[in-house]
Each structure stands twice: as structure tokens, then as C-alpha cells.
């Protein structure tokens, strides 16, 4: 009985893991598609300011979105 219970528990945990992985893959695919579809402008959208070069260090944009395209 214990062995059967362990098998079902492993099956349930595996199913949950697969579901979580699929959700992560879907989110990654959406993020990549959004970035490629807008040619990176979606990365600059949270930066509020007329000059996005100056906004990268400001409080409105807590990261440097141009760092992605350096290489």
C-alpha cells in the first residue's frame, strides 16, 4: 500500500512540475515574441521620460534596457 501511495504521489508531483514548466515556457515565449515583435521598444516602455538614454539611470527605469543590445 505504501509503494502504491508513493507512486501516485510521484505522479501527482510530476504532473504539477510539468504544468509549472509549461507555464514558464509560455511566459518566456510571450516575452521573446513581444521583444522581437516590437524590436525591443517594449523593454523601454516602463521608462517614463522623453530621453530614454537618461531615463535608464532614473527612478522611473530601475534597469538599463539597452544592456540587452550591447553585444
Q: 43 or 8: which carries more pLDDT confidence?
A: 8
Q: What is the pLDDT of residues 35-71, one digit of tens each?
A: 888 887 776 666 655 454 544 444 556 666 566 665 5
pTM, 2 dp = 0.55
Identify the DSSP state of 67: G
Q: What is the dihedral of CA 22, 28, 30, 35, to 10 degrees?
A: -170
The pLDDT assigned to 56 comes to 46
Q: d(Cα 23, Cα 28) in Å, to the nearest integer?
A: 9
Q: Do the Cβ atoms of 60 and 47 come closer than 8 Å? A: yes
Q: What is the pLDDT of residues 15-36, one digit of tens each?
A: 999 999 999 999 999 988 988 8
Amino acid at each position: 500500500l505504501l509503494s502504491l501511495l508513493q507512486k501516485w504521489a510521484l505522479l501527482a508531483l510530476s504532473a504539477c512540475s510539468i504544468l509549472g514548466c509549461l507555464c514558464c515556457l509560455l511566459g518566456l515565449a510571450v516575452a521573446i515574441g513581444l521583444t522581437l515583435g516590437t524590436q525591443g521598444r517594449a523593454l523601454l516602455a516602463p521608462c517614463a521620460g522623453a530621453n530614454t538614454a537618461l531615463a535608464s539611470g532614473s527612478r522611473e527605469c530601475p534597469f538599463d534596457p539597452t544592456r540587452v543590445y550591447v553585444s
